[in-house]
Amino acid sequence: MVYLWAFLLGLLQAASFSLGTTGSASGLLQVLSLAGLFYLWAVSRRVVWVTFCFGWAWLGVGLYWLHFSMHDIGGLPAPLSGLAIFLLASYLTVFYVLAALVFRRFESRAREFESVHTWCASFVIGLPCLWVLAELGRGYVFTGFPWLMGGYAHVDNPLTKGWFAIFGAYGVGFVASIFAAVMAWLLVSLTNRRGDVSRSVETLVMARVVVWPVFVVAALAVVGLVLQGVSWGQSATSLTVRLVQPNVSQSIKFNESAIVRNTELFLKVAASSDAPLTVFPETALPYPWTMAPQAPLAALSDELKKDAGAGNSRAVIMGSVGVDAVQRDADGQPTLYNSAMWLDANGDVFNPARYDKIHLLPFGEVVPFGFQWFVDAMNIPLGGYGRGDSMKPFSLQTAKGVVNVGVNICYENEFGEELIRAWDSGDAAAPNLIVNVTNLGWFGTIDVSTSQMQHLQMSRARALEMARPVIVATNTGLSANIDAAGEVVDLLPPEKAVIQDVSVQTMTGRTPFTYWGNLPLLAIVSFVFGLNIFLRHRYSGA
C-alpha cells in the first residue's frame, strides 16, 4: 500500500508542472506531494522502493513526451522508447534515493537515541539540504538534466517566486522543501509519539520545539512576499520584436523540397520585416550555413543596410547550423554547431556573427560513450555538434540606443547558473534582453504533450532570476514574450504558423543571482549541515 501512496504522490508532483495550474496552486501541489514523500521516508522501512515509486511517477510520467521524438519521429519501437524513459527516470531518481538513505540513517538515530530538538533539526534542516543536493546532483552530473526541478512549479507562487532573484530555481526548490519538511515533521510528530518520556513532558517539549520550525516557514513566506515586490532592474529601451513561429512539422523538416521551400519563405520574411529585431526558431534552416542560397541572402543584406545609416539598424536571428572550417572532427570534416545566426547591416550575411550552443543535449547533439547504437536506432539526424564557448551578447543599434541581445538555444534554457556568464564583464556588457530559440516540435503537439508548458515555466524562471525580459521563439509553440517580472505578456497560439510583433521593455541592473549563481545556496547548505551537527552534539543525550 505504501508503494501505491508513493506512486500517487509522484503523480501529484508531476501534475504540479504539467496540468497548467496557475497562481499558488501549482506550488502548493508540489509542496504537498513532497511533504507526503518526506512523511513516507520517516515512517517506511523501505525508503529505496518508496522513492523509486515516487520518482517513476514524477519523472517517468512528467517526461512521457520524450516518446514522441523517439517513437513517432525517430521510429524507435514503442517498447524500447518506453524502456528508455523508464531508465532515464530511474537514473534521475537514484539521486533522491541516496538522499533518502542518508536521511534515514541520521533521522532514525536522532529520533531513537537523541533529543527531540536534534530529531527536529534532522527533519526540518537536514532533510531540505539533502533534497537540494539531490536536485543539484542530477542538474550537474553527466552534463545535467534538471527538467521538472521543484523550483519550476513556483513561478506563480507569491510566497516563493521572490526568491528566484536571490537564489535561483534551486534556491526556490530549497525553500519549498523546507515548507514540505516542516509539514511532514509535524505530521510524524503527531502520529508517532516518543515512548521514552511521559505524555505531559512530551507535550511541553513538543510545544516548545514546534515554535522555531513554524517561525522559519512564516519568515521565509513573508520575506518571499516582500521580495516579490522588489524591482532588481531598471527600464532601458522599448523594442519591437517580430516573432516568427513557422510551425514546420518534424515529419517534413528534413525533407529536401520542404527545406528549399522554407528557406525561400523564411529569407523573404526576414527581408520584408521592418521590426528592429526579427527572431526565427532553432534550426529554422536545418543545414550548414555555407549551403544557404546566395541570391536570397544578398537580397536580405541589401534590405538590412537600407536604414542602417539613419540609426535604425535591423537585425535577424536565424537558427541554423554553423560551420568552422578551421576546426575539424576526427574524420577531418569541418566542425558543425547548433547556431543562432546574427544578421545585420554591419556583418557579412554569408559569414555572419553567430552564437554557438554551449551546453549540448545528450543523445540529441552529443552521443555519450557507448550509446551510438541507440542513436543509430532512430532515423533522425542527431549528434556530431561542436561545443561553443562564448555567451557574449549581440549589439543592436537602434534610434533609442544600443540594446544588448543575449541568445541561448533550447536545452540551455534549463541552466540559469550557466546563462549568467553573460554578466562576466559587468552589467554594461550584459544582455538587456534574452532570446531563447528552440524547437519543441520533436515532442508532440500541445494537446498531447506537456513539454511546451514545462519549457515556458523554465523561461519564466530565467526572467525572474535575471530580471530580464525573455523572448521564446519556437517552431510549433509555445512562443512567448515574457517580461522581467516573469509574466507572460504575449503568447502565440500553438501549432499555427504565426508572425507577430511584440513590444519588449529591455532592462539593465543586476539581481543577486547574476552575481553569485548557486554559490550562496551551497554556502547555506554547508552552514546548515554544520549547524545540524552542532545541534546533534549540543542536545545529544538530552
Q: What is the pLDDT of residue 369?
A: 60
List the CATH number of the domain containing 461.
3.60.110.10
Interval 74-85 mean pLDDT? 89
Residue 299 and residue 383 share a domain: yes
Residue 32 DSSP symbol: H
Q: Which residue has the higher pLDDT, 208 or 204?
A: 208
Residue 162 and residue 288 share a domain: no
Contacts of 10 (CB under 8 A, 6+ apart): 33, 37, 53, 54, 55, 56, 57, 58, 59, 61
Interval 231-250 mean pLDDT? 93
Cβ–Cβ < 8 Å for 465, 233: no
Question: Per-residue pLDDT for 524 more than 70?
Answer: yes
CA distance to 21, 31, 98, per residue, from 85 (Å): 24, 25, 21
Residue 144 and residue 220 share a domain: yes
Question: Per-residue pLDDT for 203 more than 70?
Answer: no
Residue 477 and residue 396 share a domain: yes
Q: What is the pTM of this model?
A: 0.91
Q: How high is the mean pLDDT of the chain? A: 87
Q: What is the pLDDT of residue 155?
A: 94
Residue 288 DSSP symbol: B
CA distance to 40, 153, 181, 182, per residue, from 120 (Å): 16, 27, 10, 9
Residue 251 and residue 348 share a domain: yes
Residue 334 and residue 192 share a domain: no
Q: Given CA atoms 463, 469, 473, 478 in this order, what sign does their dihedral have?
A: positive
Enclosing H/E stretch for 119: helix 116-121
Interval 41-70 mean pLDDT? 93
Question: Per-residue pLDDT for 205 more than 70?
Answer: no
How far apart are alpha carbons 241 and 277 in whole angstroms?
A: 5
How far apart are alpha carbons 209 and 220 in whole angstroms?
A: 18
Interval 75-98 mean pLDDT? 93
Residue 227 and residue 266 share a domain: no
Residue 244 and residue 201 share a domain: no
Question: Per-residue pLDDT for 41 more than 90?
Answer: yes
> What residues act catalytically?
282, 357, 410
Cβ–Cβ < 8 Å for 323, 334: yes
Of 134-148, 194-208, 401-415, the one with minimum mean pLDDT is 194-208
Interval 377-387 mean pLDDT? 68
Enclosing H/E stretch for 220: helix 199-228
Cβ–Cβ < 8 Å for 60, 93: no
Question: Per-residue pLDDT for 533 more than 90?
Answer: no
pLDDT tens-place string over residues 92-147: 999 999 999 988 877 666 555 456 666 777 788 889 999 999 999 999 998 899 99
Residue 320 and residue 252 share a domain: yes
Residue 376 and residue 259 share a domain: yes
Contacts of 306 (CB under 8 A, 6+ apart): none
Residues 181, 183, 187: CA angle, nearest 5 degrees: 115
Percentage helix, strand, coil for the chain under 3-state DSSP, each rounded to 5: 55, 15, 30
Interval 377-397 mean pLDDT? 79
Residue 151 and residue 92 share a domain: yes
Q: What is the pLDDT of residue 539?
A: 56
Q: Which domain holds residue 376?
A: 234-510
Residue 45 DSSP symbol: S
Q: Which amino acid is residue 358, in one-letter code? A: I
Residue 22 and residue 141 share a domain: yes
Q: Quote the number of domains for the chain.
A: 2
pLDDT tens-place string over residues 307-326: 776 667 899 999 999 998 67
Q: What confidence category does residue 150 fall into, taking pLDDT thresholds of 50, 70 and 90?
A: very high
Q: What is the pLDDT of residue 195?
A: 42
